[in-house]
Amino acid sequence: MVEFNEYFVHGMALLGAGIAMIAGLGQGIGQGIAAGKGAEAIGRNPEAEGKIRSIMVLGIALAETTGIYSLIIAILLIFMKG
Protein backbone atom coordinates (compact mmCIF):
# COMPACT_ATOMS: atom_id res chain seq x y z
CA MET A 1 0.00 0.00 0.00
CA VAL A 2 1.33 3.41 -0.98
CA GLU A 3 1.32 6.25 1.56
CA PHE A 4 1.26 9.85 0.31
CA ASN A 5 2.50 12.73 2.41
CA GLU A 6 0.37 15.79 3.07
CA TYR A 7 2.22 17.98 0.53
CA PHE A 8 1.54 15.57 -2.31
CA VAL A 9 -2.14 15.32 -1.40
CA HIS A 10 -2.49 19.11 -1.15
CA GLY A 11 -0.68 19.54 -4.48
CA MET A 12 -3.00 17.08 -6.19
CA ALA A 13 -6.01 18.85 -4.65
CA LEU A 14 -4.80 22.17 -6.09
CA LEU A 15 -4.22 20.54 -9.46
CA GLY A 16 -7.75 19.13 -9.36
CA ALA A 17 -9.11 22.57 -8.46
CA GLY A 18 -7.37 24.07 -11.46
CA ILE A 19 -8.75 21.39 -13.75
CA ALA A 20 -12.24 21.93 -12.30
CA MET A 21 -12.05 25.62 -13.19
CA ILE A 22 -11.50 24.75 -16.86
CA ALA A 23 -15.26 24.16 -16.91
CA GLY A 24 -15.66 27.94 -16.57
CA LEU A 25 -14.03 28.40 -19.96
CA GLY A 26 -16.58 26.32 -21.83
CA GLN A 27 -19.42 27.86 -19.87
CA GLY A 28 -18.29 31.39 -20.76
CA ILE A 29 -17.99 30.54 -24.44
CA GLY A 30 -21.44 28.96 -24.39
CA GLN A 31 -23.01 32.01 -22.78
CA GLY A 32 -21.39 34.30 -25.32
CA ILE A 33 -22.66 32.23 -28.22
CA ALA A 34 -26.17 32.08 -26.71
CA ALA A 35 -26.30 35.84 -26.17
CA GLY A 36 -25.04 36.50 -29.69
CA LYS A 37 -27.54 34.15 -31.27
CA GLY A 38 -30.34 35.62 -29.14
CA ALA A 39 -29.49 39.14 -30.28
CA GLU A 40 -29.35 37.91 -33.87
CA ALA A 41 -32.76 36.25 -33.53
CA ILE A 42 -34.30 39.38 -32.02
CA GLY A 43 -32.84 41.42 -34.87
CA ARG A 44 -34.45 39.11 -37.40
CA ASN A 45 -37.82 38.84 -35.65
CA PRO A 46 -38.45 41.75 -33.26
CA GLU A 47 -42.05 40.67 -32.61
CA ALA A 48 -40.86 37.54 -30.82
CA GLU A 49 -38.50 39.43 -28.52
CA GLY A 50 -40.13 38.33 -25.26
CA LYS A 51 -40.18 34.65 -26.15
CA ILE A 52 -36.62 34.67 -27.49
CA ARG A 53 -35.33 36.55 -24.45
CA SER A 54 -36.98 34.19 -21.96
CA ILE A 55 -35.57 31.11 -23.68
CA MET A 56 -32.13 32.74 -23.95
CA VAL A 57 -32.10 33.69 -20.26
CA LEU A 58 -33.11 30.16 -19.28
CA GLY A 59 -30.30 28.70 -21.39
CA ILE A 60 -27.74 31.13 -19.98
CA ALA A 61 -28.88 30.35 -16.43
CA LEU A 62 -28.43 26.63 -17.06
CA ALA A 63 -24.97 27.27 -18.48
CA GLU A 64 -24.10 29.40 -15.45
CA THR A 65 -24.79 26.49 -13.11
CA THR A 66 -21.88 24.62 -14.68
CA GLY A 67 -19.53 27.43 -13.72
CA ILE A 68 -20.93 27.62 -10.21
CA TYR A 69 -20.59 23.87 -9.71
CA SER A 70 -16.99 23.91 -10.90
CA LEU A 71 -16.22 26.83 -8.56
CA ILE A 72 -17.74 24.97 -5.61
CA ILE A 73 -15.72 21.85 -6.42
CA ALA A 74 -12.53 23.92 -6.72
CA ILE A 75 -13.15 25.64 -3.37
CA LEU A 76 -13.87 22.29 -1.70
CA LEU A 77 -10.66 20.81 -3.12
CA ILE A 78 -8.59 23.75 -1.94
CA PHE A 79 -9.93 24.10 1.59
CA MET A 80 -10.91 20.55 2.62
CA LYS A 81 -8.37 18.71 4.70
CA GLY A 82 -8.39 15.02 3.92
- The domain limits of the chain are 19-77
Q: What does the pLDDT read at residue 77? A: 87
19-77: CATH, from 1.10.10.10, 3.40.50.1980, 1.20.20.10, 1.20.1560.10: 1.20.20.10
Angle formed at CA 10 by CA 9 and CA 13, multiple of 5 degrees: 90
HSE-CB for 18 with a 13 A CA cutoff: 6
Q: How far apart are CA 47 and CA 14, in angstroms?
A: 49
Q: What does the pLDDT read at residue 82? A: 56
Could you report the average pLDDT of every consecutive run of 10 residues in the chain (82 residues)? 85 89 85 90 92 90 88 89 62
Q: What does the pLDDT read at residue 67? A: 86
Cβ contact 28:68 at 8 Å: no
**AA letter at 33:** I
Cβ contact 48:8 at 8 Å: no
**AA letter at 52:** I
Q: Which pTM does this prediction carry? A: 0.71
Q: What does the pLDDT read at residue 31? A: 87
